[in-house]
Amino acid sequence: MTRTVEEVVALWEAVVRSGGAVGFPADVPGREIETAAAALHEGTVQGTEHMLVERGAGGLRGLVVLRPAQGNLFEHRAAVTKLMVEPSCQGAGIGSRLLERVVDSARQRGFLQLRLSTRGGGPLPEFYSRRGWTQVGVFPRALQVAPGVFCDEHWFHLNL
Ligand SMILES: CC(C)(COP(=O)(O)OP(=O)(O)OC[C@H]1O[C@@H](n2cnc3c(N)ncnc32)[C@H](O)[C@@H]1OP(=O)(O)O)[C@@H](O)C(=O)NCCC(=O)NCCS
């Protein structure tokens, strides 16, 4: 693993283990996060995904990914995924800053709209709606976060 991938794995695993909503249940085997981080790295090398990071003295403190939609019908839009901040640094403005940066980056790349999905049942939907995103739908019980434990998935849209 390259240093960057190792850093992403360490951040992603810390966020997942603390209950963060970034693609995995809290008890996922570490190797699944390693595989996902390697795929993300490959996507950034190929240019199918763009990763923005925040660094501090101790290393990587947060990241977010911009994923352009594929196909002629969808060239005007992109998805924001994997917004995550190291648990000991949460609540200090880093996530808000990353979200602003990824929106600016999408605008500069010429996208006209963004979408994202997030886990319901906690502060996340409010986090996005307070920052100008519009909720466009909810998939009831779309996410099984533990055996027999379901969360709604909230979908958001932002015009650029
Ligand atoms: C959600 C997250 C990215 C926000 O980043 P942050 O740096 O902690 O947040 P900020 O300090 O910029 O802003 C604080 C806001 O985040 C909200 N928030 C959501 N989850 C939070 C958490 N675990 N800790 C602190 N604030 C959190 C607060 O309610 C607050 O909302 P408000 O300002 O609208 O009142 C971050 O908490 C995180 O990484 N959570 C775990 C991963 C996750 O669930 N990501 C969402 C992917 S869709």
Q: How far is the CA of 83 from the centre of ligand 1 (A)?
A: 9
79 close to ligand 1 (CB < 6 Angstrom): no
Q: How far is the CA of 104 from the centre of ligand 1 (A)?
A: 19
Q: Is 50 within 8 Å of 103 (Cβ atoms)?
A: no
| Cα-Cα-Cα-Cα dihedral sign, residues 136, 107, 92, 60 | positive
118 close to ligand 1 (CB < 6 Angstrom): yes
pLDDT exceeds cutoff 90 at 68? yes
For residue 55, give the amino acid letter: R
Q: How far is the CA of 87 from the centre of ligand 1 (A)?
A: 10
Closest CA to 100 of 114, 119, 118: 114
Distance CA 43, CA 48 (A): 5
Q: Is 84 within 8 Å of 12 (Cβ atoms)?
A: yes
98 close to ligand 1 (CB < 6 Angstrom): no
> Can you tell me whether residue 75 is helix, strand or coil?
coil
pLDDT band, very low/low/confident/very high, at 4 (cuts 50, 70, 90): confident
Q: What pLDDT, on a 0 to 100 scale, did the predictor assign at position 3?
A: 72
- The residues spanned by each domain of the chain are 49-159
- Condensed to tens digits (0 to 9), the pLDDT of residues 82-116 reads 999 999 999 999 999 999 999 999 999 999 999 99
Architecture category of domain 49-159 in CATH: 3-Layer(aba) Sandwich (3.40)
